[in-house]
Amino acid sequence: MPNLKSIKRKISSIKNTRQITKAMKMVAGSKLKRNQSAMNEFRTYASTYDSVIKNISDNTVLYSHPFYGKILKKREGGNGSNTGIIIISTDRGLCGSFNMNLFKLFFEELKVREINSSQVKLYILGKKGSDFFKKHNYEVVFNKSFSESESAINLSVLLSDSISNDFKENKIENIYIMSNQYISTLHQKAYAEKVLPFETQAAGKNKKSGGYLIEPVDYEEEIIDKIFKDYIQTKIYFKILESFAGEQASRMNAMDNATRNAGKLINKLTVSYNKARQAAVTLEILDIINGVNAIK
Amino acid sequence: MILNLRVVNKKRLVFEGEADFCEIPTEAGIEGIMPKHVNFIANLASGKIKYKTGEKVNEIDVVEGGFVEVGSDNVNILLNS
């Protein structure tokens, strides 16, 4: 028969845990709201930028920019085909399978795209990601956690500078970004996207003629360069915001589940506690009756 | 023929809709854009974006710059504020 005292102790400790998970859920909920609105505010800007870059990519004239793949193939004297992968993970744990899904996607993508793991250069945001990939001996070029840096926007500027420089210097030939896409509060999906080189329309038919007039003409290259760089920064920043919102949503769900499980466990233990207590009472009564009978 | 104008900043969609004509302050001077304008990219200078729909003229302030892309009667303006 289980000990009454030990069950009671167990119940009270689980109650404590439930309180903590409940509080964490509330905190995650309020953070989620803030992050969600930040993400939604920025979404129109990011999507408009996407469509602008797509318009430009449909045009042939700007292909001389190094961010397009064509030039790259011509200077094939580079050092193999290194692939840069940006991973946006989180700083803190206790958010369900949020980070694990990302890491799983990473290994799947390596397999699908036939990328040799020795040719991968990683750009990692978030402590969890850097811990994981350091343990697996990957080459980490860029590594920053969110809590160390003052703001997400500075982080995205730093990262985009670093990748566009590495890309221009031919240290890496492809860049992918892997992060968690925020679909809804209940659903986040790990997602990989190619950042560089820019995709161009292969068939000649769809190309629009005319090209672009860039003013002032003297600074044509600087202007385009800045627009492309800002695009990468915008993209990274949006992914970070999305990941922030997803993290909190995922944490909220995880903590909600934990709270519910704790409740279930408490019910179960309470039932067995009552049973044990009843058994003890019955035993005691039996003892007394036996005692009374013996005296008679 | 009309222009499809879309103005966004980093917080929200400022304006989306049709316009007959618009005037954009760029670094190379104020640019008037009518339908069938040549494809065009420029950085913005501070000033006012004016666009005309029907008889009405509306204005949007440009404070911190940004850039504009014009392609086949679509005008996309991205503001840095």
pLDDT one-digit tens code per residue, A270-289: 999 999 999 999 999 999 99
Over the stretch A44-71, which tens digit does the pLDDT of each residue have? Answer: 999 999 888 888 777 655 656 777 765 5
Which of B31, B72, B78 lies closest to A48 in CB terms? B78
Determine which of B6, B10, B15 to mutate to test the interface with A (most A C-beta atoms within 10 Å): B10
With H, G, I as helix, E, B as strand and everything else as coil, classify residue A268: helix
User: Any idea which of A11-15, A189-193, A279-283 has the lowest mean pLDDT?
Assistant: A189-193
Backbone angles phi, psi at A204, to 5 degrees: -75, -20
- Average pLDDT of every residue of chain A: 85
pLDDT for res A285: 95
The proportion of chain A whose per-residue pLDDT surpasses 70, expressed as a percent, equals 90
Strand partners, A121: A84, A139
Asked if A55 and B31 come within 8 Å (Cβ–Cβ), the reply is no
- Residue A66, in any domain of the structure: yes
When pLDDT is averaged across residues A184-212 and rounded to a whole number, the result is 72
**Tell me, what DSSP letter sits at residue A64?**
G
Cβ count near A268 (within 10 Å): 12
Closest by CA to A165, choosing from A64, A80, A57, A66, is A66
> Any idea what the CATH number is for the domain that residue A184 is in?
3.40.1380.10
At A74, is the pLDDT very low, low, confident or very high (cuts 50, 70, 90)? Answer: very low
**Residue A137 structural domain:** 44-243
At A208, is the pLDDT very low, low, confident or very high (cuts 50, 70, 90)? Answer: low
Residue A124, CA distances (Å) to A139, B15, B41 in order: 11, 36, 33
- Inform me whether the C-beta atom of residue A224 falls under 8 Å from chain B C-beta atoms: yes
Rounded to a whole number, what is the distance in angstroms from the first to the last CA of chain A?
A: 31
Domain assignments of chain B as residue spans, ordered by start: 3-79
Backbone angles phi, psi at A233, to 5 degrees: -65, -45
The angle that helices A98-112 and A127-135 make with each other, rounded to 10 degrees, is 50
Q: Please tell me the distance in Å from A54's CA to the nearest CA on chain B.
A: 11
pLDDT for res A194: 86
Determine which of A37, A215, A234, A241 to mutate to test the interface with B (most B C-beta atoms within 10 Å): A215
**pLDDT for residue A25 is more than 70:** yes
C-alpha angle A46/A47/A51, rounded to 5°?
120
Rounded to a whole number, what is the distance in angstroms from the first to the last CA of chain B?
A: 31
Q: Please tell me the distance in Å from A230's CA to the nearest CA on chain B.
A: 10
- Residue A39, in any domain of the structure: no
Q: Please name the CATH architecture into which domain B3-79 falls.
A: Sandwich (2.60)
**pLDDT for residue A173 is more than 90:** no
Asked if B43 and A55 come within 8 Å (Cβ–Cβ), the reply is no
Question: Two tokens at A121?
Answer: 């250069």
- Inform me whether the C-beta atom of residue A204 falls under 8 Å from chain B C-beta atoms: no
Backbone angles phi, psi at A17, to 5 degrees: -60, -40
Top-confidence range, A148-162, A166-180, A245-259: A245-259
DSSP string, A176-225: EEEEEEEEETTEEEEEEEEEESBP---SSTTPBSS--EEESGGGHHHHHH
When pLDDT is averaged across residues A194-221 and rounded to a whole number, the result is 68
User: Any idea which of A6-15, A44-53, A106-115, A219-228 has the lowest mean pLDDT?
Assistant: A219-228
| Chain B neighbors of A223, CB-CB under 8 A | 41-43, 67
- Residue A124, in any domain of the structure: yes
**Tell me, what DSSP letter sits at residue A138?**
-
- Residue A83, in any domain of the structure: yes
Over the stretch B24-80, which tens digit does the pLDDT of each residue have? Answer: 998 888 989 888 888 888 899 999 999 988 888 888 888 888 889 888 888 999 998
- Inform me whether the C-beta atom of residue A42 falls under 8 Å from chain B C-beta atoms: yes
Number of domains in chain A: 1
More reliable by pLDDT, B39 or A12: A12
Residues 6 or more apart whose CB falls under 8 angstroms from that of A98 comprise: A90, A180, A188, A246, A247, A250, A251
Backbone angles phi, psi at A102, to 5 degrees: -65, -45
Asked if B27 and A208 come within 8 Å (Cβ–Cβ), the reply is no
Q: Please tell me the distance in Å from A213's CA to the nearest CA on chain B.
A: 5
More reliable by pLDDT, A3 or A79: A3
Q: Give the CA-trace dihedral at A104, A106, A110, A111, to 10 degrees.
A: 20
| Chain B neighbors of A214, CB-CB under 8 A | 40-42
Interatomic CA distance for residues A121 and A82, integer angstroms: 7
With H, G, I as helix, E, B as strand and everything else as coil, classify residue B32: strand
Q: pTM of this prediction?
A: 0.86
